[in-house]
């Protein structure tokens, strides 16, 4: 199953069947009022002994409606294609506060490509990279800094294969992680990345501030070809 652990846990806790690591039932949660449903305030699913306040709880009719409301569950096999997992995860997060492309990528590849994800996170904290790119706090919060690290290596390694992924940046980056990222070259990759941004910071601490990514990529290609 992809995603939904917190949501399912919330439902189980609300109906009073969620247990902690010791096998003890957790204290059930109650509802809070909304703008139009003020009566939901401090309402429990049932009359629980371990609830803080049991004055308000669902009646039999409401509990039946709650129990009979279907929950859509999407299950894919562990061996399923990573692109399939990505698309499913993307659809599941299409409402509310959507995750960015790289936040989804982090979730999808955490188990299958942990060394790649760790490398992108590690290098996104490189001081010369940070000073050279001048990303906003919003970019960093949405893991765009980590995606830039991924782009650095993808464009340096397989830029000539971009058209094979229908000119889709997302598919291109995923394809690099799936098919071309080599765990055995991590030390070499890290050294290349740090050397490049160390050189860029000597040229100017703000060399890429406000610049398009293409400039970063072109500069990087020239550096790696030397």
Do residues 61 and 146 both lie within one domain? no
| Domain presence at residue 121 | yes
| Domain presence at residue 211 | yes
pLDDT in tens, 200-212: 888 766 667 655 5
Choosing from 32, 53, 68, the residue where a domain stops is 68
Average pLDDT of span 55-73? 82
- Whether the CB-CB separation of 219 and 200 falls below 8 Å is answered with yes
Residue 214 pLDDT grade (very low, low, confident, very high; cuts 50, 70, 90)? low
Do residues 64 and 117 both lie within one domain? no
Distances in Å between the alpha carbon of 119 and those of 47, 57, 87, 149?
50, 50, 24, 9
Does the structure show a pLDDT above 80 at 120?
yes
Does the structure show a pLDDT above 50 at 54?
yes
Q: Note down the domain range covering 164.
A: 113-225
**What are residue 25's DSSP bridge partners?**
19
Do residues 212 and 152 both lie within one domain? yes
Instruction: Output helix, strand, coil percentages for the chain, rounded to the nearest 5.
Output: 60, 5, 40
pLDDT at site 60:
85
| Domain presence at residue 99 | no
Do residues 117 and 221 both lie within one domain? yes
Do residues 56 and 159 both lie within one domain? no
How far apart CA 168 and CA 162 sit, in angstroms, is 8
Do residues 45 and 136 both lie within one domain? no
Average pLDDT, the chain: 80
pLDDT in tens, 96-106: 456 788 888 88
| Domain presence at residue 49 | yes
Residue 88 pLDDT grade (very low, low, confident, very high; cuts 50, 70, 90)? low
Q: Which residue has the higher pLDDT, 211 or 147?
A: 147
Please tell me the total count of domains within the chain.
2
How far apart CA 143 and CA 120 sit, in angstroms, is 10
pLDDT at site 220:
60
pTM for this entry: 0.58
| Domain presence at residue 207 | yes
């Amino acid at each position: 199953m992809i995603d939904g652990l917190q949501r399912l846990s919330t439902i189980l806790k609300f109906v009073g069947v969620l247990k902690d690591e010791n096998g003890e039932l957790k204290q059930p949660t109650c509802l809070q009022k909304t703008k139009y449903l003020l009566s939901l305030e401090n309402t429990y699913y049932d009359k629980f002994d371990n609830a803080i306040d049991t004055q308000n709880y669902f009646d039999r009719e409401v509990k039946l409606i709650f129990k009979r409301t279907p929950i859509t569950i999407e299950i894919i096999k562990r061996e399923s294609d990573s692109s399939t997992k990505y698309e499913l995860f993307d659809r599941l997060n299409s409402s509310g506060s959507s995750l960015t492309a790289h936040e989804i990528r982090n979730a999808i590849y955490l188990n299958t490509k942990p060394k790649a994800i760790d490398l992108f996170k590690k290098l996104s904290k490189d001081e010369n990279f940070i000073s050279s790119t001048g990303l906003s706090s919003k970019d960093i919060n949405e893991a765009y800094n980590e995606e830039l690290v991924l782009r650095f290596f993808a464009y340096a390694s397989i830029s000539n294969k971009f058209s094979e992924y229908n000119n889709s940046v997302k598919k291109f980056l995923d394809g690099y992680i799936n098919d071309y990222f080599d765990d055995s070259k991590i030390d070499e990759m890290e050294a290349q990345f740090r050397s490049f941004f160390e050189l860029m910071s000597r040229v100017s601490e703000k060399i890429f501030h406000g610049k398009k990514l293409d400039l970063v990529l072109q500069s990087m290609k020239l550096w790696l070809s030397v």
